[in-house]
Structure 1
Amino acid sequence: MFRIGEFSKLTQVSIRMLRYYDETGLLSPAVIDECTNYRLYSAEQILALNKIIFLRDLGFNVSEIAVILNQWNNEFIINQLENKRLEIENTIKTEQDKLSKIELAKRDIYQEKIAIHCNVSIKSIPSYQVLSLRRIVPDYYSEGKLWREMLVFANKGGISISNDTFTVYYDTDYREKDVDIEICAPVAGMGKDKDGFVYRNTEPVPVMASTMVYGKFENIAGAYLAFANWLQEHNQYRMEGQSRQIVHRGPWNEKIPDNYLTEIQIPMKEI
């Protein structure tokens, strides 16, 4: 039998860790002397300790090690090792993504691109249950007419519309006329399609680039230019799908145009 200090020296494991393994139930002393209260370990326990250290160094926590020690056979251990490998790979990827974002953020700061008026963020957009109206209209300024039509339709049908309305632009380029747009208003429940108004679930967008535009609607053109600069600098993204626009504060809830708040959303694909 070896005292804990002797066992520590022979196994190259600190007394602190041996006591910790005892407290957690992974490796208790073979005997505790009744007279001296010394913790005594046997040579046979070195093998069990080596297993604990082996699993610890591979990233297994105490509870995982306890499970493996209780079911120590080759097939079970190989399965556990494969699961741990996948877990570590996912952790590495997550941390690498964080490092990439840190470098991009540093570059944005150095280039003074992180000001709120042109800050671009990436987020995931879920599917929404909406009442929509899609039309080809003469120009972008005609969008207001569609919203007035929807307001009349909703009032007649007693339909409650939330404030989180948005517009989807289906054209892949800028159009001077004949613009294909769809206005969408989230609703609590589905109804019957009528007079061009359609109830549907919008498509989720896993990677959506977003920027906020403050002030008059005339400022939106400048925001798109800032967006273009951002895309050029962040070439790991490519535009894909229909862009959206959300007017969080506009003529209906804000009297001062300088206080308007519009969000531009453009779907992205990582390349």
Structure 2
Amino acid sequence: MLKIGDFSKLSRISIRMLRHYDEIGLLMPKNIDTFTAYRYYAEDQLPMAARIVALKDMGFSLSTITEILKSYENPQALAEYLAVKQSEVQAEAEETKRRLLLLDTAIKRLRKDETAMNYNVTVKTFPERYVASVRKVIPTYDQEGTLWSILMTETASLGMQLADNCNSLAMFHDDGYKETDVDVEVQMTVKGRYKNTENVVFKTEPAVQIASATYKGSYDQLTAVNQAVASWVQDNGYEFDGMMFCIYHVSPAQTQNPNDYVTEVCYSVKKK
């Protein structure tokens, strides 16, 4: 028989943890002296201790280790436990890799430009939505308001209901920036079903993965925000996969103070 200190040295498990394993029924001593309360372990418990250490090193929790040890002599059952843990560790590794890349690119951007973190970029899925849409070629971007006027005028008699958490957005269909004759579409998410009008089309838009940055203030910041999102996309292993659009969380329809506007600049993206 081995005293707890000797068993601790041989098993590479601390005395404190051996006592804890005893309390939870994971690895109990073969004998406890009734007078001194000393714990004694048998040499044939060392393989079990080694299994516990190996499973802990693989990342299993003590509760899971308890379950695994019940079927440890069954290679197939053990392989299934290990395969599940392998998938979890691989997913964690990918997440860690992603976070390291985010940190690395953020540090590099800050070293180049101290204002780089003024606009924080995130990747998310913009969900499928049913929208009222108006799309036209207009003279310049600052005349986007004419599209909104058409949308609101032509739907005024429809009793149109806005969707919960309604999004109002403008999509820019041209491949790049244009000085004139720009292809712009405005959309408003609605619920229910409606017939198209002369210029308003009702349709379901698919979900799309986007990189976006939300900022507060006037539209004068749009160029800077566009640059921030574009740089983030390039630095973090994504590529553009569709058009750019803006979601107007707080727009001139809600306030006349440009400092109170809240705009989300979005780019459709995919992983390289």
**Alpha-carbon spacing, 1:176–1:132, altered in 2? closer, same or farther (3 Å):** farther
Q: Which runs of 4+ in 1 moved over 6 A?
A: none
**Alpha-carbon spacing, 1:141–1:98, altered in 2? closer, same or farther (3 Å):** same
**Alpha-carbon spacing, 1:159–1:108, altered in 2? closer, same or farther (3 Å):** same
**Alpha-carbon spacing, 1:9–1:236, altered in 2? closer, same or farther (3 Å):** closer
TM-score norm. by structure 1 comes to 0.85
Of the candidates 192, 196, 200, which is equivalent to residue 197 of structure 1?
200
Residue matched to 1:11: 11
CA distance in structure 1 between the aligned counterparts of 2:80 and 2:60, rounded to whole angstroms: 13
TM superposition shift of 1:39: 1.8
| Unmatched 5+ stretches in structure 2 | none
CA-atom RMSD, angstroms?
2.6
Residue matched to 1:113: 115
TM superposition shift of 1:178: 4.3
The equivalences for 1:234-249 within 5 A come to 234=235, 236-249=237-250
Tell me the alpha carbon deviations over residues 66-97 of structure 1, each in whole angstroms, 9 at most, x when there is no partner: 11100111112222222222211211111111
CA distance in structure 2 between the aligned counterparts of 1:80 and 1:171, rounded to whole angstroms: 52
CA distance in structure 1 between the aligned counterparts of 2:59 and 2:117, rounded to whole angstroms: 41
* Contact 2:211/2:233 (<8 A) preserved: no
Does residue 104 of structure 2 align to residue 103 of structure 1?
yes
Task: Find the residue that maps to 1:199 and give its secondary structure.
Answer: strand
TM superposition shift of 1:258: 4.5
The equivalences for 1:205-216 within 5 A come to 205-212=208-215, 214-215=217-218
Residue matched to 2:252: 251
The equivalences for 1:85-96 within 5 A come to 85-96=86-97
Residue matched to 2:269: 268
* Contact 2:132/2:188 (<8 A) preserved: yes
The equivalences for 1:104-253 within 5 A come to 104-110=105-111, 111-114=113-116, 116=118, 119-139=119-139, 140-161=141-162, 164-187=167-190, 189-195=191-197, 196-212=199-215, 214-215=217-218, 217-221=219-223, 223-225=225-227, 227=229, 230=231, 234=235, 236-253=237-254
Task: Find the residue that maps to 1:44 and give its secondary structure.
Answer: helix
| Unmatched 5+ stretches in structure 1 | none
CA distance in structure 2 between the aligned counterparts of 1:257 and 1:235, rounded to whole angstroms: 32
* Contact 1:134/1:180 (<8 A) preserved: no
CA distance in structure 1 between the aligned counterparts of 2:211 and 2:9, rounded to whole angstroms: 57
